[in-house]
Structure 1
Amino acid sequence: MRFHGEILRCALLGLAMLSPFAANADSWQQIQREAEGQTVWFNAWGGDEAVNHYLDWVSGEVKRHYAIDLRIVHIADAADTVKRIQTEARAGRKTHGSVDLLWVNGENFRALKEANLLQTGWAEQLPNWRYVDTSKPVREDFSVAVDGAESPWGSAQLTFIARQQQTPEPPTSPQALLGYAKAHPGTITYPRPPDFTGTALIEQLLINLTPQPDALKQPPNERTFAAVTAPLWAYLDQLHPLLWRQGKDFPPSTARMDSLFTAGTLRLSVTFNPMHAKQKVAKGELPKDSYSFGFPQGMIGNVHFVTIPANSSARAAAQVVANFLLSPEAQLRKADPTVWGDPYVLAVDKLAPEQRKALQALTPENAPPVLAEPHAAWVNALEQEWLRRYGTH
């Protein structure tokens, strides 16, 4: 895609003199000068080939434009990296940490922020912040204030996948999903918590079913937890016997869900990326008639971020990389389902006309409203209770 020259140069090079933060232009140029030659160790989830290819492209771009050596550390779970950062802090390693940039959100961000292990106040000073859609939850993460300690990178929403041939009219509520399971026993399931998507589905059902949704905006309370969650467990007690393997076994991941769906064992898959079906169909990895859907009243969603540990030895370069990840060019490439298909975090009306048109073409159709996630502390509480009730089958 071709962009107007000056806009593209701004997107690629992050030229601070074109930023509304004019007073910060000199300091941003200083950050860019300091970043040259630095090595950034970027810890990012490595469980998807498309994500890994995209990050390889990012590494090449920041090398070419900023002389930054971006090293991608493929991780299975950000929680493991959080533990490493915490261990370094306990050992008194205040500089030269092993992590310079981390793909993070939710409970992992909360753990680091509450322990004062993150650099704060930098995210909204990035020149490309001016493009960010601030109507998205970019200033809070699972109800925890961001305080400029992480920069938005992509957005996501819990999404079901079905086949047009099998399911021309998808279920539109938890009760309709239960009815679907009764009509087609053994053909639906969800990833076993603590898989992120599996836990997200539990949270979705809780939001839909609890009589006390406001309680989810605060950490769970021991005195009220049982009452708030009772309708969820009653629902799952009805649903589980109707699931694949009678709910006595659960797929370990969304990738396993996809393979069971493609094989015809399952009628539904589930993902936290509304562009996932398009991406996998384009690559021939899901049936051609696969489509995405959600409950029309809303599906749980969030923004995912990158953050810089306080003991990073490449703070300047990490900021430059974060700024590049927010550029229209990088966001457009990331949103393309033939590349990755991860939804963008930019406000379309803040972009140049050609960029605006290109991003609008990548916007998921008929996407349901985004429901805010419960407070981050609910994740562990729900997972532990789920495992207590269903994890020993």
Structure 2
Amino acid sequence: MPTFSRSMLWMTLLAVTPCAFASTQWQQTEQEARGQTVWFNAWGGDPAVNRYLDWASSEVKRDYGVTLKIVRLADAADAVKRIQTEAKAGRTKGGSVDLLWVNGENFRTLKEANLLQTGWAQQLPNWRYVDLQKPVREDFSIPTDGAESPWGSAQLTFIARREQTPQPPQTPQELLTFATAHPGTVTYPRPPDFTATAFLEQLLLTLTQQPDALKQPPDQATFANVTAPLWSYLDKLHPQLWRKGSDFPASPARMDDMLANGTLHLSLTFNPAHASQKVARGELPKDSYSFGFAQGMIGNVHFVAIPANARSAAGAKVVANFLLSPQAQQHKADPAVWGDPTVLDIQKLPHPWPAAQAETAPPVLAEPHAAWVNALEQEWLRRYGTH
């Protein structure tokens, strides 16, 4: 039997202890969570999302003894207001929200007011599978500081039909050329529709000479210069659009209908699985496909967060860890279930990922700072909103 010197023993303990300590800590979290009720506030506007959450509820109840109650919201901002109201009333414990589906402006509002627990997300055991190439440690350029656990990802995606568009445009300039060659068949939703604003941000990211400026809130002194290439581009594009840019569809859903009936050659979505879902349901023609610009398409990650005054924080962490598990992520990514793209790196997983869900997507371009949303929408409305 080999003998160990005291220094070798200490080195061995140092190598092992952090992992063992983390494992023990997590076991304690799971023990504390058992029997807890977690009130999960989530957007409830999609039947597929609701069915997925019902499935997740049954899974965590069976495996962890956690009762997951879903509060289906019309808008995440409603939960944010409730958390703010509780804070103003001095309710520092026993809050009504344990877990919140959140990102973007709502996350920034809560984080800046110190209304979220921080430092926990990267301690989850399933964090080891997360794709660190995705913007999982920042949310609209705001560092998450471990206050959010990634849940799913999304990316601005074009939809076309093979019969109409065998070779899709790969750059903004090619899109302009395409629109000019096929007048009236290209458009985008009317801002402030979320997908419309993402389209404006996509163009700005790839056209501006000052991309670093987009990582900070807009500066009134430089806004005109930073955004000038965007407005110049849209001034050229709009006359080639559907109804010559005098009107815009109210939503991406309307664009899907117009693509299906042949009015448009392109539609837009923020879900890369959207086209395959619609084809499977017979809501888009069978030759419909997704594509993006070669340089990359704007994308983001949606997260779950735990309010600082959560009543069942341990249970919320267990649920967040389950939502990050390969099993839960794979189920969620299935177009027949939800079709929400994974935040995991499929190369890190212990078991193969289904080939049908492993399609290659364009590189993800991180979104500008959250404050750009309102600034771009207001300027767009000033320039084009009265047409």
TM-score (norm 2): 0.89
CA separation of 1:264/1:219 partners in 2, compared to 1, >3 Å: closer, same or farther?
same
Task: Give the partner amino acid of 2:358.
Answer: T
After TM superposition, the structure 1 = structure 2 runs for residues 4-19 of structure 1, keeping only pairs within 5 Å, are none
Q: CA offsets per residue over residues 166-224 of structure 1, 9 Å max, x none? A: 11111111122122222333322222223222111110000111111121122211100
Task: Give the partner amino acid of 1:26.
Answer: T
1:26 Cα shift?
A: 2.7
User: What SS does structure 1 have at the residue aligned with 2:353?
Assistant: helix
- Greater mean alpha carbon deviation, residues 38-47 or residues 168-177: 38-47
Task: Give the partner amino acid of 1:388.
Answer: R
CA separation in 1, counterparts of 2:254 and 2:61? 35
1:361 Cα shift?
A: 4.2
After TM superposition, the structure 1 = structure 2 runs for residues 178-197 of structure 1, keeping only pairs within 5 Å, are 178-197=176-195
Question: Is the contact between residue 152 and residue 306 of structure 1 (CA under 8 Å) also seen in structure 2?
Answer: yes
TM-score (norm 1): 0.88
1:213 equivalent to 2:211? Answer yes
Query: Aligned match of 2:358 in 358, 363, 373?
Result: 363
- Greater mean alpha carbon deviation, residues 204-213 or residues 36-45: 36-45
1:261 Cα shift?
A: 2.3
1:377 equivalent to 2:371? Answer yes
1:272 equivalent to 2:270? Answer yes
CA separation in 2, counterparts of 1:211 and 1:330? 41
1:282 Cα shift?
A: 2.0
Identity of matched residues, %: 74
Question: Is the contact between residue 128 and residue 323 of structure 1 (CA under 8 Å) also seen in structure 2?
Answer: yes
CA separation in 2, counterparts of 1:194 and 1:70? 34
CA separation in 1, counterparts of 2:324 and 2:236? 44
Structure 2 equivalent of residue 226 of structure 1: 224
- Greater mean alpha carbon deviation, residues 245-254 or residues 95-104: 245-254
Structure 2 equivalent of residue 31 of structure 1: 29
After TM superposition, the structure 1 = structure 2 runs for residues 146-161 of structure 1, keeping only pairs within 5 Å, are 146-161=144-159
CA separation of 1:241/1:39 partners in 2, compared to 1, >3 Å: closer, same or farther?
farther
CA separation in 1, counterparts of 2:120 and 2:24? 15
Question: Is the contact between residue 35 and residue 317 of structure 1 (CA under 8 Å) also seen in structure 2?
Answer: yes
Query: Aligned match of 1:66 in 39, 64, 67?
Result: 64
Structure 1 equivalent of residue 7 of structure 2: none
After TM superposition, the structure 1 = structure 2 runs for residues 1-393 of structure 1, keeping only pairs within 5 Å, are 21-352=19-350, 355=351, 357-365=352-360, 367-393=361-387
CA separation of 1:127/1:382 partners in 2, compared to 1, >3 Å: closer, same or farther?
same
5+ long unaligned stretches in structure 1: 1-18
Question: Is the contact between residue 157 and residue 300 of structure 1 (CA under 8 Å) also seen in structure 2?
Answer: yes
Question: Is the contact between residue 126 and residue 321 of structure 2 (CA under 8 Å) also seen in structure 1?
Answer: yes
Q: CA offsets per residue over residues 300-344 of structure 1, 9 Å max, x none? A: 112221111112222111111100001110011111222222221
User: What SS does structure 2 have at the residue aligned with 1:134?
Assistant: coil
5+ long unaligned stretches in structure 2: 1-16
User: What SS does structure 2 have at the residue aligned with 1:116?
Assistant: coil
1:116 Cα shift?
A: 0.6
In the alignment of these two chains, the number of paired residues is 371
Task: Give the partner amino acid of 1:369.
Answer: P
CA separation of 1:228/1:180 partners in 2, compared to 1, >3 Å: closer, same or farther?
same
User: What SS does structure 2 have at the residue aligned with 1:349?
Assistant: coil
1:262 Cα shift?
A: 2.3
Task: Give the partner amino acid of 1:364.
Answer: E
CA separation in 2, counterparts of 1:362 and 1:375? 30
CA separation in 2, counterparts of 1:56 and 1:193? 33
User: What SS does structure 2 have at the residue aligned with 1:258?
Assistant: helix
Q: CA offsets per residue over residues 104-123 of structure 1, 9 Å max, x none? A: 22222112111111111111
CA separation of 1:313/1:181 partners in 2, compared to 1, >3 Å: closer, same or farther?
same
1:20 Cα shift?
A: 7.8
CA separation in 1, counterparts of 2:258 and 2:86? 41
1:162 Cα shift?
A: 0.4
Moved over 6 A (4+): none
1:360 Cα shift?
A: 5.0
CA RMSD of aligned residues (A): 2.0
CA separation of 1:378/1:341 partners in 2, compared to 1, >3 Å: closer, same or farther?
same
Task: Give the partner amino acid of 2:198.
Answer: A
User: What SS does structure 2 have at the residue aligned with 1:246?
Assistant: helix
CA separation in 1, counterparts of 2:237 and 2:133? 35
CA separation in 2, counterparts of 1:35 and 1:150? 19
CA separation in 1, counterparts of 2:251 and 2:71? 21
CA separation in 2, counterparts of 1:48 and 1:265? 27
CA separation in 1, counterparts of 2:263 and 2:70? 35
CA separation of 1:236/1:47 partners in 2, compared to 1, >3 Å: closer, same or farther?
farther
Query: Which entry has the higher C-alpha Rg, 1 or 2?
Result: 2
User: What SS does structure 1 have at the residue aligned with 2:357?
Assistant: coil
Q: CA offsets per residue over residues 249-286 of structure 1, 9 Å max, x none? A: 33333333323322333221111121221222222222
CA separation in 2, counterparts of 1:29 and 1:382? 47
- Greater mean alpha carbon deviation, residues 208-217 or residues 323-332: 208-217
CA separation in 1, counterparts of 2:281 and 2:70? 24
